Structure 1
Amino acid sequence: MKLSAEQIEICRKIISSQIKYQETLEEVLDHVISAIEGMPESNETIMTLTEQVIDRDFGGKNNLKAMEKEREKVLLKALYRKQKIYFLEHFKFPLISFTLLLALTSYLTVDTYINRKVFLIALDIFSFSPVLLLCFKSFGIQLSGSKKSIKIAPLLQVSYLSIAMFNIFNFVPKLFYNDNYKFLIRTNTAVLSVITVFFVVYTISFIKLYREEIKMKLA
């Protein structure tokens, strides 16, 4: 039996109410349409047929949700591995030259040509930019009326590392000194250069990961 555009839309709404992510919606919808169109003509409603296929081939809506959670875990591990690879590439030829230049530039310019507070504001921007990038993307997806990608939540977890490191540098030293102690303000220039390299390289690596996993595939 051949499904009409109206029937396909009914299928989409039924499946959409049972799952969380756009990728799952597209995969299950394609499967359900193919399964129903492969059936002989029936007096059953499209709603009943859709539910039958979901129960038979996916184990019901609860199993669909469990499948999504499992895919999230697998995807998170894969994204962490990719981020690590992209990050470490900056410490190998040929990108090591960029990393060394970045370290040297930050070492020579901070406190000499750039006020340290201004420098740290730039560092703030780098540490929070991965999360902000994903927030803007999520907002755009919501405006479009689509379901969010399964990749958004795992990517957010990957992006939180830069914020976590920034908080460590800001707040952990206060446990050993006092509440007014500001590590990034008082630390020597060499240490600050190393910290700068971490945040800049991590952000660049994350943007590469983002473009590969989200922007190019969901645009």
Structure 2
Amino acid sequence: MKPDKKQLKFLQDYLQRKLTYRETFEEIYDHILSAIEQLPQQIQFEVAVNKILQTDFGGYDNLGKVEMASKKALVKESFKKFTVLFTAYFKFPYVLYTGGFFVLVYYLASHVKLEPMLLEGIFALSIVFPGIVTLIRLYYTGYTFLSTKKSARDRLFNNLGGIPVRIFVLINLFIFGTPLGWIATGAIGISILLTLALVYNFAFYKLYKAEFKMSITT
């Protein structure tokens, strides 16, 4: 059976009413289209769709549970990927670049008199970078897929994007009691914080690029 435009529209609307996330919608939509091609043309389209849903997903009313399980798996996979990307910068060969950056920052912080506001500006830029990437991600995914449908990974990206700001507030206001408190840690503290911020940003950006590339190719 090869669906016509009207039948495809029916299927899209039918699934849209039950599914929240883009990834689940695309997966189930593609699955149904592949399965329905194997059925004879004389079968009523709506009957065929519900038969496939019942056989492969436990029925139309069970799609919500299927989606939640799929979301949990996607989030777990993405978070695991982020930790792998982050820790990779502390393993060979990337640890050489990480160490080189740390040494450079330490040298500048200990031998060059840098204005506190300059350091604060650099650090502020580094902690808002994930938030900027998060906004770019929302724009490009919506533009590419011509849809504002949620992604199962949205909350994960929002949380990861906000972690640097939360840590910054925690360190400065609750530990040091001042927005510039982290600078008082000296060259070592400055080097550690800026290096961690750089590594975090690289890992976060790579996660975004990997997710976007995977969404395009699947």
Same fold (TM over 0.5): yes
Task: Report the alpha carbon displacement of residue 198 of structure 1 after superposing the two structures with TM.
Answer: 0.7
Q: 1:60 to 1:171 in 2, by over 3 A?
A: farther
Task: Report the alpha carbon displacement of residue 71 of structure 1 after superposing the two structures with TM.
Answer: 2.3
Task: Report the alpha carbon displacement of residue 19 of structure 1 after superposing the two structures with TM.
Answer: 0.8
Match of 1:186 in 2: 184
Q: Does the alignment pair 1:156 with 2:158?
A: yes
Length-normalised TM-score, structure 2 = 0.81
Q: Judge conservation of contact 1:19–1:61 (CA < 8 Å) in 2.
A: no
Using the alignment, how far apart are the partners of 1:218 and 1:126 within structure 2?
Answer: 28
Q: Judge conservation of contact 1:107–1:190 (CA < 8 Å) in 2.
A: yes
Task: Report the alpha carbon displacement of residue 124 of structure 1 after superposing the two structures with TM.
Answer: 1.8
Structure 1, residues 102-139: CA drift from partner, whole Å, max 9, x if none? 11222222372532222222212222212321222213
Match of 2:124 in 1: 124
Q: Judge conservation of contact 2:20–2:150 (CA < 8 Å) in 1.
A: yes
Q: 1:76 to 1:32 in 2, by over 3 A?
A: closer
* Runs of 4+ that moved beyond 6 A: none
Q: Judge conservation of contact 1:120–1:184 (CA < 8 Å) in 2.
A: no
Where 2:90 maps in the other structure, the secondary structure is coil
Using the alignment, how far apart are the partners of 2:79 and 2:3 within structure 1?
Answer: 41
Gaps of 5+ in 1: none
Q: Judge conservation of contact 1:23–1:149 (CA < 8 Å) in 2.
A: yes
Using the alignment, how far apart are the partners of 2:68 and 2:114 within structure 1?
Answer: 47
RMSD, matched Cα:
2.7
Q: 1:212 to 1:142 in 2, by over 3 A?
A: closer
Using the alignment, how far apart are the partners of 1:93 and 1:39 within structure 2?
Answer: 53
Where 1:75 maps in the other structure, the secondary structure is helix
Instruction: Name the amino acid aligned to 1:115.
Output: E
Task: Report the alpha carbon displacement of residue 79 of structure 1 after superposing the two structures with TM.
Answer: 2.3
Aligned length: 214
Q: Percent identity?
A: 24
Q: How does 1:48-127 map to 2 (within 5 A)?
A: 49-110=48-109, 112=112, 114-127=114-127
Task: Report the alpha carbon displacement of residue 40 of structure 1 after superposing the two structures with TM.
Answer: 4.4
Q: Judge conservation of contact 1:76–1:155 (CA < 8 Å) in 2.
A: no
Q: Judge conservation of contact 1:79–1:158 (CA < 8 Å) in 2.
A: no
Q: Judge conservation of contact 1:130–1:203 (CA < 8 Å) in 2.
A: yes
Task: Report the alpha carbon displacement of residue 191 of structure 1 after superposing the two structures with TM.
Answer: 0.8
Match of 1:172 in 2: 174
Using the alignment, how far apart are the partners of 2:23 and 2:76 within structure 1?
Answer: 18
Q: Judge conservation of contact 1:141–1:148 (CA < 8 Å) in 2.
A: no
Gaps of 5+ in 2: none
Task: Report the alpha carbon displacement of residue 202 of structure 1 after superposing the two structures with TM.
Answer: 0.9
Q: How does 1:198-217 map to 2 (within 5 A)?
A: 198-215=196-213, 217=215
Q: Does the alignment pair 1:142 with 2:146?
A: no
